[in-house]
Amino acid sequence: MTRREWLALIAATPLLKADTAPAPVAPVSIAKCASYDEDITGKLFTMFDQLGGLQKLVRNKTVTIKLNLTGGPGNRVDGLAPGVTHMVHPKVVTATVFLLSRAGAKRVRLVESAWGPRMLEDSMQASGFDVKSLQSTVNGLEFENTNILGQAKKYSRFKVPNPYMYSEYVLNHSYEDTDFFVSMAKLKNHAECGVTLSMKNCFGMTPVSIYGDDAGVDEPNEKASQGRQAVCHNGRRQPAKIAPPELHPGVSNSAGYRVSRIVADLAVVRPIDLAIIDGIGSIAGGEGPWNRGIRVVKPGVMIAGLNPVCTDAVSTAVMGYDPRATRGTKPFPHADNTMLLAEANGVGSTDLKRIDVRGVPIDQAMYRYEA
């Protein structure tokens, strides 16, 4: 970490007082599941029951599920279907939608910042989903591509009470127009940020129309099609002026510094009510086919929890890492630990001793991503 990065970290990190209440905790459930041919619905039902049941959480509510479909439908690892490597698997999505509907959810909406086809359902179909079958699971299932304005007249604004990177984030309406928010992620490494789990999954909420390389200057570019490298990863430009500029321009051009803080900000302003981690099949060494040195892995687990920091901490431990590791140590050789940043802002705890792990214990579920 450079001196400039250190000074910015001190300026952006909340001061922890001796009498500060410890970060909240919530239970986390782990289940073993060797393949996608097993009873995914039954496994998830048991996990949700271990967390206290879905009905009291979602009955008569609008539920929004942020998927992880990173990279778009054209990318493959060793020619395999994306759902068994770097995207959430269709069977996990279908089972979750079914269980939410059965628990009494009034409306279920799937969201993702989709690449390729502009309609999310078309991008999902191209990525291996049977969209018609998925739609038959629940009446009125909705889809929204949150890379753009989508089905609304204006974007929603999310002010950050104690921000790291931006004082406010401007996002698709779907992240505000919901009662219960689910982040459905994959159990993966991330080339820049170490791991990508339920919180890092939400980095994809930022629309490229505003935060993309080809975003508009004054207004959003609703035809934007490039990634977020220039704005979010490297700070070479500011977002479209509909959104505030970053708070500490020029302090760091490192994605491991910037992206971790954006993710921690988003975990505060768009709280995750339920985190679901698909670790039945995945990849290690990176987040997608574009990373060098990735390999297909089969951890054979699913993890779910009611607090994203707690869930990600347990998931990181299942991957064989210390969830309280700091920059310069595995799995964060070049990044700041997003879990610790979010913990400092009161989102949740990384302390495994305080987290009630239900179902399969961590040591029995562990699948080391590195030797």
Confidence of residue 20 (pLDDT cuts 50, 70, 90): low
Residue 21 lies in a domain: no
| C-alpha 161: how far from chain center | 21
| Amino acid 14: pLDDT | 44
| Residue 281 pLDDT greater than 80, yes or no | yes
Per the omega criterion (within 30 degrees of 0), is the bond before 244 cis?
A: no
151 or 272, higher pLDDT: 272
3-state secondary structure of 16: coil
Contacts of 59 (CB under 8 A, 6+ apart): 103, 104, 105
DSSP letter string over 24-87? P---EEEEE---TTS-HHHHHHHHHHHTT-SHHHHBT-EEEEE---TT-TT--STT--GGGTTS
CA–CA separation, 169 vs 346, rounded Å?
19
Residue 31 lies in a domain: yes
Torsion of CA 238, 240, 242, 243, to 10 degrees: -30
Q: Cβ–Cβ contacts within 10 Å for residue 249, how many?
A: 9
CA–CA separation, 238 vs 247, rounded Å?
11
Tens digit of each residue's pLDDT (9 = 90 or more) over 195-232 = 999 999 999 999 999 999 999 999 999 999 999 999 99
| Amino acid 117: pLDDT | 85
Confidence of residue 237 (pLDDT cuts 50, 70, 90): very high
Residue 11 lies in a domain: no
CA–CA separation, 116 vs 227, rounded Å?
12
Contacts of 49 (CB under 8 A, 6+ apart): none
Element at 279 (helix H, strand E): strand 274-279
Residue 7 lies in a domain: no
Dihedral sign from CA coordinates of 318, 324, 330, 335? positive
3-state secondary structure of 340: helix
Residue 45 lies in a domain: yes
Choose among 145, 202, 143, 192: nearest CA to 172. 145
Q: How many residues does the chain have?
A: 371
| Amino acid 16: pLDDT | 39
Residue 5 lies in a domain: no
Torsion of CA 299, 302, 304, 308, to 10 degrees: 30
Mean pLDDT over all residues of the chain?
Answer: 94
Domain region containing 289 = 26-365
Burial 284-297 (b: 16+ CB within 10 A, else e): bbbbbbebeebeeb
Residue 18 lies in a domain: no
Q: Cβ–Cβ contacts within 10 Å for residue 203, how many?
A: 22
Tens digit of each residue's pLDDT (9 = 90 or more) over 144-187 = 999 999 999 999 999 999 999 999 999 999 999 999 999 999 99
Under 8 Å between Cβ of 331 and 189: yes
Q: Please count the structural domains in the chain.
A: 1
Choose among 147, 160, 183: nearest CA to 303. 183
Residue 16 lies in a domain: no
Task: Please report, as a single letter, which amino acid is at residue 301.
Answer: V
